[in-house]
């Protein structure tokens, strides 16, 4: 039997998440990635430089980030596995635990449903504004609920399925290199002029890193929601991302809802296609049901991790 690193990390994350008191004291490890990426952008993303030069320096920045992250994690894992008594896996699990976000994601989405149930639309807008990048000030109840569900579905891949996949495949270096890639993509992997060249490598690597986990996440959500297969297969390509559409379409199908559609960013409305063929009038009950499917999907991933641990 292999060491139960992945299963132990999942249990720790589900039980306590990343405690607020700890976050206030030391922040979160991904903050180190953000600081390094910010340094890299200051160094290599100068507006007066050519597009090609900034793209090359973006590639160099990502290479340095991954070499540094992978190297340190490899040393830490090697050192822990040499501990006497064969208990080094406990240390590896403790170092892997912060890379997962089961509890955090659940605890950020739940307050949106609770605010809507109280009739506090303003509070719901503020709560959902903490987890989405779109404009939330003018969203009605359905818009707020759909935004929360979309974020839950997409983040199921980035925060749970993908980190777990790379932890199982690559151990401590695998999971933290994935988090470095995902953090870089969220910060600089955009199509705006400022980041189009420098962030190109981050976006491309993130697409590759999520290729298998996104499809696995979609399948698991369909099993958890006991449906959504046809919607996932039909509509995953309607999302701008080659990966995020799998989990979002799976959730839309399982809930029999329409997600996505026209969305405003910085006052500009983007006419995105709808995902799903159900109703568009979502509410707090739909968020609650989405969270139920999410919890089931997380438990299914626990089962997959346990099977891998044994075989």
What is the per-residue pLDDT across 163-179, written as a single tens digit (0 to 9) for each? 999 999 999 999 999 99
pLDDT at 3 over 80: no
pLDDT of residue 266: 75
Q: Give the residue among 126, 124, 177, 186 at the shortest CA–CA distance from 154.
A: 186
Q: Which long-range contacts (CB under 8 A, 24 or more apart) does 55-58 make?
A: 55/197, 55/198, 55/200, 55/201, 57/198, 58/188, 58/197, 58/198, 58/199, 58/200, 58/201, 58/202
Instruction: Please give the share of the chain, as a percent, with pLDDT higher than 90.
Output: 82
Q: What is the mean pLDDT of residues 52-76?
A: 97
pLDDT of residue 184: 97
What is the residue extent of each domain of the chain? 5-310
Whole-number Cα distances in Å, 62 to 78, 137, 153, 180: 24, 35, 27, 9
Q: What is the mean pLDDT of residues 104-130?
A: 96
pLDDT at 223 over 60: yes
Beta bridge partners, 298, equal none
pLDDT of residue 2: 60
pLDDT of residue 309: 82
pLDDT of residue 246: 97
> Alpha helices, DSSP H only, in 27-117?
30-44, 51-81, 88-96, 102-117
Query: 273 phi and psi, to 5 degrees?
Result: -70, 155
Instruction: Please give the share of the chain, as a percent, with pLDDT higher than 70.
Output: 99
What is the per-residue pLDDT across 254-271, written as a single tens digit (0 to 9) for each? 999 999 888 888 778 888
pLDDT of residue 82: 87
Query: What are the structure tokens assigned to 46, written together?
Result: 């100068």
pLDDT at 28 over 80: yes
pLDDT at 1 over 50: no
- Least trusted range by pLDDT, from 16-20, 77-81, 151-155, 185-189: 16-20
At 41, the pLDDT band (50, 70, 90 cuts) reads: very high
């Amino acid at each position: 039997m292999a060491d139960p690193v992945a299963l132990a990390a999942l249990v720790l994350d589900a039980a306590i998440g990343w405690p607020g008191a700890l976050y206030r004291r030391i922040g979160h490890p991904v903050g180190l990635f953000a600081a390094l990426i910010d340094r890299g952008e200051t160094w290599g993303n100068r507006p007066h430089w050519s597009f090609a030069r900034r793209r090359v320096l973006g590639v160099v920045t990502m290479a340095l980030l991954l070499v540094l992250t992978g190297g340190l994690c490899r040393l830490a894992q090697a050192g822990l596995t040499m501990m006497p008594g064969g208990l080094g896996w406990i240390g590896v699990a403790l170092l892997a635990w912060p890379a997962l976000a089961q509890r955090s994601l659940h605890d950020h989405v739940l307050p949106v449903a609770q605010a809507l149930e109280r009739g506090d639309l303003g509070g719901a807008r503020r709560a959902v504004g903490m987890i989405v990048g779109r404009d939330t000030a003018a969203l009605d109840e359905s818009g707020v609920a759909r935004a929360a569900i979309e974020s839950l579905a997409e983040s199921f891949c980035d925060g749970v399925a993908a980190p777990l996949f790379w932890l199982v495949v690559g151990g401590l270096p695998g999971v933290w290199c994935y988090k470095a890639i995902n953090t870089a993509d969220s910060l600089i992997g955009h199509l705006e002029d400022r980041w189009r060249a420098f962030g190109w490598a981050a976006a491309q690597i993130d697409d590759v890193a999520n290729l298998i986990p996104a499809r696995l996440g979609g399948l698991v959500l369909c099993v958890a929601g006991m449906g959504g297969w046809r919607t996932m297969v039909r509509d995953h390509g309607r999302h701008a991302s080659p990966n995020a559409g799998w989990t979002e379409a799976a959730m839309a199908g399982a809930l029999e809802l329409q997600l996505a559609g026209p969305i405003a960013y910085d006052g500009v409305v983007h006419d995105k296609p709808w995902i799903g063929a159900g109703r568009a009038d979502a509410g707090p009950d739909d968020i609650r049901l989405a969270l139920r499917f999410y919890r089931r999907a997380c438990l299914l991933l626990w089962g997959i991790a346990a099977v891998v641990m044994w075989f």
